[in-house]
Amino acid sequence: MNKTLYKEVIDSKGIKQKHLAKILGISEQALIQKVNGIRSFKAEEIRIFKEELNLSTDLAWEIFLSDAS
């Protein structure tokens, strides 16, 4: 996961992690664990993230499938 790009995207959209976790249907702690690579994002969570933030497929792939930090 590209945490830097993730942070840039949610900051640019004005979304806080707590709100994003609620949108994804998970706890804020679970979201933090997923962002930090302790747990994996489910495909459905990535789909919701992409749709709710109105991201292109390429950008979503760059965030979730990159090894960059």
Closest among 8, 65, 9, 13 to 37, alpha carbons compared: 65
Q: Is 29 part of a structural domain of the chain?
A: yes
Q: Is 20 part of a structural domain of the chain?
A: yes
Q: Is 37 part of a structural domain of the chain?
A: yes
66 pLDDT exceeds 90? no
Q: Is 18 part of a structural domain of the chain?
A: yes
Q: Is 48 part of a structural domain of the chain?
A: yes
Long-range contacts of 14-19 (CB under 8 A, 24+ apart): 15/53
- The C-alpha atoms of residue 27 and residue 69 are separated, in whole angstroms, by 22
**What integer pLDDT is reported at residue 63 of this predicted model?**
96
Q: Is 69 part of a structural domain of the chain?
A: no
Which band of pLDDT confidence, cut at 50, 70 and 90, is reported for residue 67? confident
Structural domain range at position 9: 3-64
**What integer pLDDT is reported at residue 69 of this predicted model?**
63
- The C-alpha atoms of residue 67 and residue 1 are separated, in whole angstroms, by 5
Tens of pLDDT, residue by residue over 14-62, are 999 999 999 999 999 999 999 999 999 999 999 999 999 999 999 999 9
Cα dihedral 56, 47, 22, 59 sign: negative
What is the number of structural domains in the chain? 1
